[in-house]
Structure 1
Amino acid sequence: MKFINFTMVSFAICFALGIVTAHVFPSSLSLVLYIFLSLFCLLFFFWRLNRNQLFPSVFFGILTYCSMILLGYGNYIIRLPASQPNHFTTILSENSPQILQLKITEILKPDRFTNKYITEVEAVHSESSSGNLLLNIQKDSLSEKISIDNVLLIAEAPQIIPKPLNPNQFDYSRYMKTLEVYHQIRTKSAYIIHKTKGSPSLRGRAERAREYILQKLKKTPLTLDERAILQALVLGQRRDINSDLYADYAAAGAIHILAVSGLHVGILYFILLFLLKPFHYVKNGKIIQSVLIVLLLWIFAFVTGLSPSVTRAVTMFSLFALANTLQRETSSINTLFISFFILLLYNPNWLFHVGFQLSYLAVFSILWIQPKLNSYWSPKNYFLRLFWGIFTVTLAAQLGILPLSLYYFHQFPGLFFITNLVVLPVLGILLGGGLLVVILAAFAVLPDWLARSFNWCISQLNTFIRWVAHQDSYLFTDIPFSGYKVLASYVVLVTIVVFWKHASFRRGTFIFASFILLLGVILYDISESASEELVIFQKSRQTLIGHKNNHLLTLFISDTNTFRSDTYPISSYATSEAIKRITTQQFPNVLMFRNKKMLIIDSLSVYPKAESIEWLVLTQSPKIHLERVLDSLQPSYIIADGNNYTSYIKRWRETCEKRKLPFHHTGSKGAYSID
């Protein structure tokens, strides 16, 4: 067994722990620097005491690990806007219009109504600044195309990216924070004062190169769906994939092949290892081979637009190539954790990216679990050996990412083994063939017969994926899986694998304890979900009130005929709360919840006189004199949902402020929950 440097592994884990701590409990940069300086002095003192000893003292080891935790903590804190004196938020003035100079650094996937860009704020009122900003521009058929490196002048006030307005919804603001983006601007193309080309960046050149190739591919005989898959496989461009086809890949458990990441870079790495193997027979051939592999991998990253996922994967495999060149007695796990440490040192926010977490867990699981699995059978037949290798790699990777996948996606494709056993052997061929097609198309020398042959191969892949995706009985969806279950599941997995590799009574007791922990978490989640709650959801132009009682959700809505319970915001709420059955009813004027009354006044403006209530809900813009209603009913709380005119909301809020009554508007404060 190759040597595993557990010091490097523990350093990387401590560094990541510091980042997580800073993310949950941020503090001022000055305090971090003060603690780090004090810790460094203590570390230096103990190093002086222990420098002539073969084994350093326990205190030196503890201080070293604490220093790594604090280093990770500080590396995260220093990137927060409050720690950057030149950040645009410190320059903005509240009492004057803002003119911002924005440089486009990344183009995001657009939604139905807006195009989205990540921009760097270069100046505020001609004063140099820094910081990232999300720019949302309303779609307009007459607007000019905006590209990376374009510089825009906009007179708008940045706003903090809002949190989700309904419980258990995807938190877009949290996701954008992982990209170091905390504010946004919503505007129209007509409001852009000036647009010009900025100084070219490496990312901009990469994007233009990719756009050039995409235009060339459109002139080939490749059909629309097949060309879209090729663009995703080789160029990392998924915008042209049909939504139904994309859903089929997700249902079949093959969505990972559409996102250029560690899998693609790993396949390309081993293809290059094989193709460049003849260099072993020349002087310094291994060095030449490694240099060429690293160079070609980075060219691939450049062609795919230098996306973060590809950049991370290429960095990791570049370190693998370097370790191979040095020919040192080392372990792939060491190289994995070195790349993990370097990437987080460069950008600590990557730790919170789903792709980063899944890719490192998958690779670690393959390196740790697959060799033991593979040793159970050594068939002599080449195809059986290939089949068994793919099976064990797939099983090891799935074991490593399963808890996290259930947490993020709440679904499990039961036929993922079949999908991967078919897809993975041909993925290398498709990736290699796709690269050849792209290169020939870029130089306009792609033969029609080759384009049609490759088109047929992708078409067969799509047909197979569609067949697997439509085996509905093997796709398990809406699986509730909490963060506590994720942690407990990984504790169980680690203890089982450790016992499996080196069985002992002590390790067996750890397995027993881990299952007790998992059982406790499951029971806790069951008790949490088996509760009663009343929620007034935020939904524009619709009244939506939910009563959750254990695993039953009753929805009170205005129109029971057209409403679908599998749409926003009910679908994700029902999954997270382990709802097993949903019923709908026409909402009444009075609801009873825990022996207290909730009165709902709608467009009919009808309400009982002189009746004491706890909650007053206003919906459908009722034409009422709110002060008279308050005098008559004496409610403790006033709630207005998203189905009201803005002018009415403003007037009601002023009335409640005057009378010092709590007023809750779901459109600004989010859903109102009573438990």
Structure 2
Amino acid sequence: MLRWAPYPFVRITLSFVAGIVLYFLWGRELGHGLWLLAFFFASFLAVAILSIRYKNTFASDVAGILGLLTFMALGFATTHQRTELNQPRHIAHLQSSPSHYKGMVQDYVLQKPGYQSTVLQVQQVKVDGVWHQATGKVQLSVPHDSDRAYELSYGDVLLVRGAPQPVAAALNPNQFNYKAFLANKNIHHRHYLQPLQYQKISSKPSNLVLYYSIQLRRRLDEMLRERVGEKREYAIASALILGVKDELDNSIRQAYADTGTMHVLAVSGLHVGLIYTVLMLVLARFSATARQRWLGAILVLAVLWLYAFITGLSPSVLRAVLMFSLVTVGLGLQRRTVVYNTIAFAALVLLYSNPYNLFEVGFQLSFLAVLGIVYLQPQLYNLLEVDNWLLDKVWAYFTVALAAQLATFPLGLLYFHQFPIYFWLANIIVVPAATFVLWSGVAALAFSWVPFLSELLFKAHFWLIWGMNEFNLWLQRWPQSILTGIDISVWQTWLLYLLMLSVILFLALKRLRYLSIAVGIAALLSVQEIREVVQQRQQRQLVVYSVRGSTGIGLVQGQQAMLVADSVLQQNPQNYTFNVQPHLWQLGVEQPQLVNLHNSSVAPTVLLPDSNQLLVWQGQRWLILSKPPKMQPKVGFAVDYLLLRQNVRLKPEQLQQYTFNKLILDGSNSPWHRQRLRQQLDTLGVSYFDVAESGAFVVEL
């Protein structure tokens, strides 16, 4: 039987999480929730006093339940308070667009090709010539065209001309929802600036600790750039040690993702755990007395928080440092701490500071991975007894990788739609290699002032990274190294976790009821999958995707598809991966047939004498105009849709020659051309659809 008594913080944290979820479900109806918090807290105090006075067991149970409901209400109220949109002065509530606004750079500055990105905390806005106090965050993109490494720094106060724009929603079906991603960071506006559109007027960092941390990380990053040399190896060194991933090459990033070792490049709990493990091994023999234990604990805490400082105090590192700090203090006190309480308390502190952490992918994956390692790894490790020391270490690393992968498996499918087959082999090699890379890099930076030793350490650091990179690239080329195109819903993700929990409970408690639940969940998942496959085999869709600067038309029949695209889209795989691929995976299409729009021998298009195309498919007729038409349509000639692309110029009288149901503007048209054309179409009363503004145009057949 499960016993909850030893896990008070687990109960409290789960109640707090329930309050956060409740806010996102019914927050608007229930308001700020302070009345709910006051009611449950007063009820808890009253019942607790009665239970103590009369020593009534039932009253004690009720007091416990009311206490948990109080934490649930606290989670609800905290989320309301931390939601910046609820502030009356938020820029989203402005009645008129501001002509200027002031704010402070509140985040790291990220390097992008040709520009840099950061977050500005708005302080004032100028509306109708008058300055007003305001709040809100704006994601800024500033051009990077100077010799300076960084155009902006944390704490810079900027005067910006113009008005920020609300973040656009995803324009294609099943596309990554960048708007929701930024909303979880309380960012609801973006602004792409020109070189003379902003001016730095002062520098007033609100957090000096974070300011100096970021400055130190920049200096260390520059040292790695100079001393490591090769761009590929430098990018890995900077990502693995400092968490700076700006220079990572797409091919090497993909190799780590395909082998299931991407977590090595994201400074997180793994890196803190590697540092903590080595420190505990070194200090293990110096724990005989209380004085030695406390000196060791202070040293461990100092090293952990120093590492957090040099990595810019990133949230992922702070999560792990907080967790290991609690464990270290517990060891110093010689308390038999329950690790689940430690994990839960760390989660509670982080969620109280920012409830939106709950919806961060990194937060979810890191805590699930830790829970998997804590509970599953010992169970898996005890399945096999290995006498050989080296093989025993290999088996231990394998079980750690397997436990973490099992715990994060459903979420990995939900967010990344792929599963690396050889993750177990990759982690056995890469995680130990990353340990040496991390420590050699830290040592090289620490002794950079020592001439001969620093050269030796940087060379060792470089070759360790080179070997780790080559191993991942080699493993990536193995046959069937990764399963892609996996698409599951949030509901199916929950079912997978319930299935895993039922199996774990059955194995731990030996109760048949849990096996029955597991079989029932597996049956439900199977029925859902069969139903989905049947629906996919009957589907027929014609889709005009919203792809900036490109044309992409999807012709879906069953679980097969053809993507008719121009050369711009064909030459930009990232554009396809981000905008088109998620929708095709949702439809059960693993890999479409990619054909050129102008290749009439493969595509279902007919090339007209004036170089335009007529697309005929599944009874649909689409006239695609890329150039001004030079042919007079025959009397009675009608098409279902007229698609305009590449800024084709049409006179109003030319449009009136065609008979069609709707006019489509695709993403290859420039913004200025679409705006002018929309005005003309509104004047003529022509029905149109602009995919760059309204999203992909989907026709169900």
Matches within 5 A, 1:211-360: 211-220=218-227, 223-360=230-367
Question: How far apart in 2 are the matches of 1:28 and 1:80?
Answer: 15
**Map of 1:68 onto structure 2:** 71
Q: Secondary structure at the match of 1:548?
A: strand
Are 1:85 and 2:88 an aligned pair? yes
> Structure 2 CA distance, aligned partners of 1:306 and 1:78?
24
Which of the numbers 189, 192, 197 marks the counterpart of 1:191? 197
Offset from partner CA, 1:412-458 (integer Å, 9 cap, x none): 22221111212333433332232211211267774323332333333
Contact 1:150 1:198 in 2 (8 A): yes
> Which letter does structure 2 place at the counterpart of 1:148?
Y
Q: Residue by residue, what CA displacement relative to the aligned partner does 1:289-333 show, whole Å, maximum 9, x if unpaired?
A: 223222221110001111111111111111222222333333211
| 2:585 aligned to which of 562, 569, 575 | 575
Contact 2:622 2:640 in 1 (8 A): yes
What residue in structure 2 maps to residue 460 of structure 1? 467
Contact 2:100 2:159 in 1 (8 A): no
Matched position secondary structure for 2:227? coil
Measured in 2, the distance between the counterparts of 1:219 and 1:638 equals 55
Q: Which residue matches 1:120?
A: 121
Give 1:106's aligned residue: 108
> What letter is aligned with 1:107?
V
Which whole-Å CA distance do the structure 2 matches of 1:444 and 1:178 have between them? Answer: 47
Q: For residue 534 of structure 1, what is the aligned residue in structure 2?
A: 542
Distance 1:119 1:402 in 2: 36
| 8 Å CA contact retained: 1:262, 1:310 | yes
1:34 to partner: Cα distance: 3.5
Report whether the alignment pairs 1:130 with 2:124.
Answer: no
Mark the CA change 1:417 to 1:448 in structure 2 (over 3 Å): closer, same or farther: same
Distance in 2 (alpha carbons) for counterparts of 1:214 and 1:131: 30
Please state how far the C-alpha of 1:505 moved relative to its aligned partner: 1.8
1:17 and 1:69 in contact (8 A); partners too = yes
Q: Aligned residue for 1:149?
A: 155
Per the TM alignment, residue 665 of structure 1 is displaced from its structure 2 partner at its CA by 0.9
| CA deviation vs aligned residue, 1:82-138 (integer Å, no higher than 9, x gap) | 322343444x5626512323334222342x343111122233346444332101113
The aligned counterpart of 1:174 is 180
Summarize deviations over 1:206-253 as a string: whole Å, max 9, x none. Answer: 111112223333443654433333322222222333333332222222
Q: Determine the C-alpha separation between the residues in 2 that align with 1:429 and 1:96.
A: 53
User: CA 1:644/1:421 → structure 2, altered by over 3 Å: closer, same or farther?
Assistant: closer
Q: Contact (CA 8 Å) 2:551, 2:569: kept in 1 or not? A: no
Aligned-residue CA RMSD (Å): 3.2
- Aligned residue type for 2:74: L
The answer to whether the Cα contact below 8 Å between 2:116 and 2:143 also exists between their aligned partners in 1 is yes
Distance in 1 between residues matched to 2:250 and 2:568, nearest whole Å: 28
Determine whether 1:555 maps to 2:581.
no
Q: Is the 8 A contact 2:84 2:136 kept in 1?
A: yes
Is contact 1:536-1:673 (8 Å) kept? yes
How many Å separate the matches in 1 of 2:32 and 2:228? 62
The SS at the match of 1:643 is coil
- Asked if the contact 2:104/2:157 (under 8 Å) is kept, the reply is yes
| Alignment CA distance shift 1:541-1:236 (3 Å) | closer
Aligned partner of 1:617 in structure 2 is 643
Retained in 2: the 8 A contact 1:29–1:77?
A: no
Gaps of 5+ in 1: none
Distance 1:204 1:563 in 2: 41
Deviation at 1:358, TM superposition (A): 1.0
* Pair 1:163 & 2:165 matched: no
CA distance in 2, matches of 1:224, 1:640: 41
Structure 2 CA distance for aligned equivalents of residues 145 and 624 of structure 1: 43
Measured against aligned partners, the alpha-carbon deviations of 1:36-94 in whole angstroms (never above 9, x if no partner) come to: 3344444445445544323447665554444433332332222223322343444x562
- SS of residue paired to 2:698: strand
Q: TM-score, normalised by structure 2?
A: 0.87
TM-score where L is the length of structure 1: 0.90
Q: Within 2, Cα distance between the matches of 1:457 and 1:19?
A: 44
